[in-house]
Structure 1
Amino acid sequence: MPIITVKLAKGRTAEQKQQFVEAITKEAAKTLQVNEEWVTVIFDEYNRENWASGGQLHSIKFGEGFGRAGTE
């Protein structure tokens, strides 16, 4: 039973996450030779002010709304 955890910044729509889940489930089942029903995907979503890289918060480094094109 594969469990796949996806960490990402908040802002994706339910439709985007559904498309992602369908694609990753299909590929995981094919590659690992398991039933698609056995594949679990868990999203861990973070606010940009709770995510940093290179010593700087993403909310400051990239600005508000960065990476959200097409999500509204």
Structure 2
Amino acid sequence: MPIIEMHLVEGRTAEQKSRVAAAVTKAVSESLPCSPDTVRILITEHRHDEFYVAGLNKMQRDALQGQAK
């Protein structure tokens, strides 16, 4: 039973999350191969101030991009 964890910055709609879950389920079931019924997907959403890239959260990255312009 494949278990896939996805971590996203909050703000996606339920429809968007459903679409990505369907696409990932299809890809996993075709590539392993296994039944789509065995694929589990866990989506965890994080606030912008909890999601860091290169040590900076989104507000910090946006501020730096604004300074670079």
C-alpha distance after superposition, 1:15-53 (max 9, x if no partner): 000011111101100111110000000001100101122
Q: TM-score, normalised by structure 1?
A: 0.79
Aligned residues: 63
More helix by share: 2
Runs of 4+ off more than 3 Å: none
Residue in structure 2 matched with residue 70 of structure 1 by the alignment:
none
Residue in structure 2 matched with residue 39 of structure 1 by the alignment:
39
Identity %: 30
1:55 CA drift (Å): 2.5
Q: Structure 2: how far apart are the matches of 1:59 and 1:32?
A: 39
Q: RMSD of aligned C-alpha atoms?
A: 1.3
Q: How does 1:1-72 map to 2 (within 5 A)?
A: 1-62=1-62
Query: Match of 2:27, SS?
Result: helix
Q: Structure 1: how far apart are the matches of 2:59 and 2:45?
A: 14
Unaligned runs of at least 5 residues, structure 1 = 64-72
